[in-house]
Amino acid sequence: MESEIARVQTAIQKTAEQLAELYEKAQKEGGESSAAIVEVQQMMLEDEDYLDAVYHIIRTETVNGEYAVSVTGDNFARMFEDMEDEYMRGRAADVRDISGRLARNLAGQEDADFACMEPSIIVAEDLSPSQTVQMDKEKILAFVTVHGSTNSHTAILARMMNIPALIWVPMNLDEIRTGMKAVVDGAAGEVIFEPTDDQCREAEEKIKAAQDKFRLLQELKGKENVTSDGRKINIYANIGSAGDVGYVLENDAGGIGLFRSEFLYLGREDFPTEEEQFQAYRQVVQTMGEKKVIIRTLDIGADKQADYFNLGKEENPAMGYRAIRICLKEPETFKTQLRALLRAAVYGNLSVMYPMIISAEEVMRIHDIAEEVEQELKKAGVPYRVPEQGIMIETPAAVMVSDELAELVDFFSIGTNDLTQYTLAIDRQNQRLEDFYNPHHKAILRMIKMVVDNAHKCGKWVGICGELGADLALTEEFVDMGVDELSVAPPMVLKVREKVRAM
Ligand code: PEP
Ligand code: MG
């Protein structure tokens, strides 16, 4: 036990040294306010109550330091979360952050500094969406992880950026060192550490062949998404941040069918302000000119966590307090985002889309809140425009009442990732269930058809923005069903166009 305590003390020292370095860096690059955040964490690391609790757990429960630090971190964070004072509530994220760093140091894990790395392959146990959004995408050559799922948001981000990502790779991470050479073949699902000269040559040939194929696809730029018998479909792209618009234009998408706005809320210490959001949305719609930009309101929760939301632990987060449920329960957060959206709508072809809808009542409540925001902006003399408003169809409930919902909204966009998860009762994050997670299941395809028919009966258009929209094996079926739009990862736009034109 005492040796475990000594181990914790060594880790505390290492953590303190890291924080001192971070403090200097923050002061130089981010100014006093960034440095103050580090300072709060330095104080916590010296806090006697916190340290006593860690030592007490080790002594009384005969557990290791990592466990004691993690439990103490959770307990203290919860205590802060319950405080009246808003500033103190915000400190919960700091406790979690410092406890995480301390536990990583105890476990001897290196703390990657993503900001200043060379172009690299990232090898990890797992990656959360909030870690992924913080990385400088220009510098990531590939992801290779032991855990993860093809339907997770980390995988979705990788797909959007056209970064090869291998998951579920059995590796001993202790044997993998920073600076090692590796070849990742995304198409074959293979990684070779310390490749031979022959293996490197072979990889270079494959890269060249892929580049040739890529060049051929480029010839489809500027061409229509039209079948040989004249049927047309819109092909839009999915993005996660304002900085991703480059991928959309580069791949000649007709618009943005899903801007996952919650990524603006990840990887930071506090809520983005109305002004920050307004600037981000305006930048996207202005850059896209006349092309449609569909911004989905905050879909936080489940695998997309931001500590300052204080969502707490849930038994069943995918079915929990998330997305529109948070927005309806905490309308001030929702209204801030809606204000930013209505203001940004003045600058281009912006539409708003609401996630995780299950009933007509929810849509009516949303409209009431949106109307309140409109009246407030009008009264304050702030320029705004009420955009087209649609909903995501990603729960079986929404499918079954899609006839009623179609009357209330301007469009539908089918979120097949969640629709598959909820229809098949299969957690999209659980890698053990990947063999069962079958988005081609007849139930899903029939649901899509039903939604399309109900939308069209009411004169509304309908798209698919889940990953299934890019599934080339289904493109023909979707066109036959009458789907009006497919919104896919930007690197898939030209491939789907090629498929449509070959029909
Ligand atoms: C979906 O569920 O299909 C979807 C597009 O939303 P997300 O993947 O962000 O949950
Ligand atoms: Mg979803």
| Ligand 1 centre distance from Cα of residue 259 (Å) | 11
Ligand 1 atom closest to Cα of residue 413: 5
Mean pLDDT calculated for residue range 10-26: 83
Confidence at residue 94, expressed as pLDDT on a 0 to 100 scale: 76
- pLDDT of 275 > 90? The answer is yes
pLDDT computed for residue 157 by the predictor: 82
CA atoms within 13 A on the CB side of 46: 8
Q: What is the pLDDT of residue 277?
A: 96
For the CA of 421, the nearest atom of ligand 1: 2
Query: What are 276-313's pLDDT values in tens digits?
Result: 999 999 999 999 999 999 999 999 988 888 889 988 88
Q: What is the pLDDT of residue 113?
A: 59
DSSP 189: T
* Structure confidence at residue 20 (pLDDT): 85
Is 439 touching ligand 1 by the criterion CB < 6 Å? no
Contact 327, 370 (CB under 8 A): no
The pLDDT score that the predictor gives to residue 61 is 85
Which residue, by CA, sits nearest to atom 10 of ligand 1? 418
Burial of 368 (0-12, 13-18, 19+ CB in 10 A): exposed
The pLDDT value recorded for residue 33 is: 59
* Strand ranges for 289-346 from DSSP E: 292-296
Q: What letters, b where the CB count within 10 A reaches 16 and e where it falls short, cover 240-253?
A: bbbebbebbeebbb
Ligand 1, atom 8, lies closest to the CA of 417
> Is residue 465 among the annotated active site residues?
yes
364-382: average pLDDT: 98
As beta bridge partners, residue 389 has 352
User: Is the Cβ–Cβ distance between 142 and 121 less than 8 Å?
Assistant: yes
Q: Hey, how many other C-beta atoms are within 10 angstroms of the C-beta on 279?
A: 15
Q: In what order do the strands lie in the sheet with 120-124?
A: 120-124, 140-145, 165-166
Q: For residue 414, give the ligand 1 atom closest to its CA.
A: 3
The token pair at 75 is 């307990």
Q: What is the pLDDT of residue 161?
A: 82
Residue 228: both structure tokens together: 């040989």
pTM of the full predicted structure?
0.74
In short, whether 465's Cβ falls inside 6 Å of ligand 1 is yes
Atom 6 in ligand 1: residue holding the nearest Cα: 415
Tens-place pLDDT, residues 198-255: 999 999 999 999 888 889 899 999 999 999 999 999 999 999 998 899 899 999 999 9
Report the half-sphere exposure of 356 (CA within 13 A, side-chain side). Answer: 19
pLDDT at 107: 83
Q: Residues 153, 200, 440, 441: which is the catalytic one?
A: 153
Greater pLDDT, 94 or 360: 360
Q: In whole angstroms, what is the distance from residue 160 CA to residue 153 CA?
A: 10
The predicted-structure confidence for 151-203, as pLDDT tens digits, reads as follows 788 888 888 888 899 999 999 988 998 889 999 999 899 999 999 999 999 99
The model's pLDDT over 395-441, given as tens digits with 9 standing for 90+, comes to 999 999 999 999 999 999 999 999 999 999 999 988 889 889 999 99
The answer to whether the beta carbons of residues 485 and 461 sit under 8 Å apart is yes
The rounded distance, in Å, linking the Cα atoms of 249 and 490 is 9
CA distances in angstroms from 55 to 9, 64, 191, 406, listed in the order given? 10, 10, 42, 59
426: alpha, beta or left, given left = phi > 0 and alpha = psi -120 to 50? beta
pLDDT at position 30: 54
74-116 confidence digits (pLDDT tens): 888 888 878 877 667 767 777 887 888 888 888 887 655 555 5
Q: How confident is the model at residue 31 (pLDDT cuts 50, 70, 90)?
A: low
12: confidence class by pLDDT, cuts 50, 70, 90: very high
CB count in 10 Å sphere of residue 492 = 25
Q: Is 302 exposed, middle or buried (0-12, 13-18, 19+ CB in 10 A)?
A: buried
Rounded to an integer, what distance in angstroms lies between the CA atom of residue 495 and that of residue 474? 13
User: Would you place residue 40 in the very low, low, confident or very high pLDDT band (cuts 50, 70, 90)?
Assistant: confident
**How far, in Å, CA of 132 to CA of 140, rounded?**
10
Contact 356, 346 (CB under 8 A): no
Closest-CA residue to 497 (of 251, 128, 158): 251
pLDDT reading at 263 higher than 60: yes
> For residues 26 and 38, is the Cβ–Cβ distance under 8 A?
yes
Nearest to 355 by CA among 428, 421, 420, 299: 299
Average pLDDT across the chain, whole number: 91
Asked if 327 is an active-site residue, the reply is no
Asked if residue 135 has pLDDT above 80, the reply is no
Q: Report how far Cα 1 is from the mean position of its chain's Cα atoms.
A: 41
Q: What values do phi and psi take at 358, rounded to 5? A: -125, -10
Confidence of residue 260 (pLDDT cuts 50, 70, 90): very high
Reduced to 3 states (helix: H, G, I; strand: E, B; else coil), residue 268 is: coil
pLDDT in tens, 301-348: 888 888 899 888 888 989 999 999 999 999 999 999 999 999 999 999
For residue 415, give both structure tokens. Answer: 């979120």
Q: What is the CA(171)–ligand 2 centre distance, in A?
A: 31
Q: Which of 136-150, 239-253, 459-473 bottoms out in mean pLDDT, i.e. has the lowest?
A: 136-150
Query: What span, in angstroms and rounded, lies between the C-alpha atoms of 395 and 54?
Result: 43
Residue type, 39: E
Residues ≥6 apart with Cβ < 8 Å to 125: 145, 146, 147, 173
The CA distance from 134 to 306, in Å, is: 13
Q: Is the CB of 260 under 6 A from ligand 1?
A: yes
Nearest CA to ligand 1 atom 4: 415
